[in-house]
């Protein structure tokens, strides 16, 4: 692990049900915000807010595809957080 992980912010992000729903939804594969917000029943603005928080924590990756931005889970970062938590609480 080369980057410093902020476990407190990670846990706070996961404690918010909409963010957890986004991460679970993206297990299916990459999606644009226009596909995410209706599936989790959020306004586009609120969905974008949650996507930014998850991206800032490096839990999501994004790439541009024309006018769309596609979001996907950053499995490496998720595994890094999981490893830190296992070492901390087990």
Query: Per residue in 28-68, pLDDT tens?
Result: 999 999 999 999 999 999 999 999 999 999 999 999 999 99
8 A C-beta contact, residue 39 and residue 47: no
CATH T-level assignment (fold) for domain 7-84: Arc Repressor Mutant, subunit A (1.10.10)
Residue 33 pLDDT: 93
> What proportion of the chain, given as a percentage, has pLDDT over 90?
72
For residue 2, pLDDT over 70 is answered with no
Q: Give the residue-averaged pLDDT of 8-26.
A: 92
8 A C-beta contact, residue 74 and residue 57: no
Higher pLDDT, 50 or 12: 50
For residue 1, pLDDT over 50 is answered with no
Q: Give the integer Cα–Cα distance in Å for 74 and 76.
A: 6
Residue 59, Cα to own-chain centre: how many angstroms?
4
For residue 90, pLDDT over 70 is answered with no
């Amino acid at each position: 692990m080369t980057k410093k992980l902020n476990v407190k912010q990670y846990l706070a992000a996961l404690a918010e049900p909409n963010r957890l729903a986004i991460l679970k939804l993206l297990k299916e594969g990459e999606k644009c915000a226009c596909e995410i917000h209706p599936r989790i029943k959020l306004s586009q603005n609120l969905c974008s807010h949650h996507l930014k928080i998850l991206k800032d924590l490096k839990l999501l990756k994004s790439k541009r595809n024309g006018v769309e931005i596609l979001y996907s889970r950053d499995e490496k970062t998720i595994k890094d957080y999981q490893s830190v938590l296992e070492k901390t609480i087990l």
